[in-house]
Structure 1
Amino acid sequence: MEAIPLAEGDLRWVFPELIDVDPVLDVLRQAAVRVERLAGHLGRPGAGLVFDHLPGAPYAGLSAFAEIEEVAFRVHVSPPRDPHRHVLTLPPPWQVEGEISVRCDAIRDCGRHEIETVESAHGTPLDAADGVLTVAGWLYQRGTTEPQASWRKRDVLSRHR
């Protein structure tokens, strides 16, 4: 998987039928700024929105992260997946997801534990971009108002075996 900055990729990887790129790109840039502001607040520079692109694949997702030590704030938009075969299907709808997670602290690290999540489905590229902007705002609000140490305390799987 290759991480390609928003400015260097093609929005048609996520929105294959997109004709008027500018309105969608404008909203996604606003979302990127919100996540970058959160990353700055956390003391770690963020990369903004990047395409999660598999070279040669016709589709990609678009994600942004803001992380500190154990806590990660993530927004992601992607074409839909067939729930039975776990393969991408042609949009609409586009899936927009937001997640706040902590790193596993067990002896055998299983990855990340979700603390809070939001998700929504959108019928047009502009609606999906607005969904990304909304989630980026939610992440910024949660990441700047909730004390950083509180996320670990809310991990119900902490020290699991």
Structure 2
Amino acid sequence: MEAIPLAEGDLRWVFPDLVEVDPVLAVLRQAATRVERLAGHLGRPGAGLVFDHLPGAPYAGLSALAEFEEVAFRVHVALPRDPHRNVPRSPPPWQVEGEISVRCDAIRDCGRHEIETVESAHGTPLDAANGVLSVAGWLFDRGTAEPHGSWRRRDVLSRHR
């Protein structure tokens, strides 16, 4: 998987039939700015929105991540998936997800534990971009409202076996 900055990729990887690129790109740039502001607040500069692109694939996801120590704030938009074969299928809808998670602190690290999540489905590229902007705002609000250490304390799976 290759991370390609928003400015260097093709929005049609995520929105295959996109005709008017500029309005969607403008909203996504606003979302990227919100996540970058959160990353700055956390003391770790972020990359903004990037395409999660598999070289040679005609599609990609689009995500942004702000991290501090073990806490991650992430927004992601993706093509819908076929529930039976778990492969991407033609949109709409686009799935927009936001997640606040912490790194597993058990002896056998299982990855990340979700603390809070939001998700929504969108029927048009512009609606999906606005969904990304909304989640980026939610992440900024949550990431600046609570002390960083509070997220670890909310991990119900902490030290699980």
**TM, length-normalised to structure 2:** 1.00
SS in 2 for 1:52: strand
- 1:50 is aligned to 50
- 2:102 is aligned to 102
* Deviation for aligned residue 1:84: 1.6
Deviations 1:115-157 (A, max 9, x none): 0000000000000000000000000000000111000000000
Within 2, Cα distance between the matches of 1:91 and 1:84?
16
- 2:88 is aligned to 88
Asked if residue 151 in structure 1 is aligned to residue 161 in structure 2, the reply is no
Q: Where do 1:120-139 residues align within 5 Å?
A: 120-139=120-139
Deviations 1:84-111 (A, max 9, x none): 2100000000000000000000000000
Deviations 1:1-28 (A, max 9, x none): 0000000000000000001100000000
- Structure 1 gap segments, 5+ residues each: none
- Structure 2 gap segments, 5+ residues each: none
**TM, length-normalised to structure 1:** 1.00
SS in 1 for 2:38: helix
Q: Which amino acid aligns with 1:76?
A: H
Within 2, Cα distance between the matches of 1:84 and 1:135?
28
Within 1, Cα distance between the matches of 2:80 and 2:23?
22
Within 2, Cα distance between the matches of 1:91 and 1:159?
40
SS in 2 for 1:74: strand
- 2:27 is aligned to 27
Segments of 4+ moved more than 2 angstroms? none
RMSD: 0.3
Q: Which amino acid aligns with 1:87?
A: V
Q: May I ask how many residue pairs the two structures share in their alignment?
A: 161
* Deviation for aligned residue 1:83: 1.4
SS in 1 for 2:72: strand
Within 2, Cα distance between the matches of 1:137 and 1:33?
10
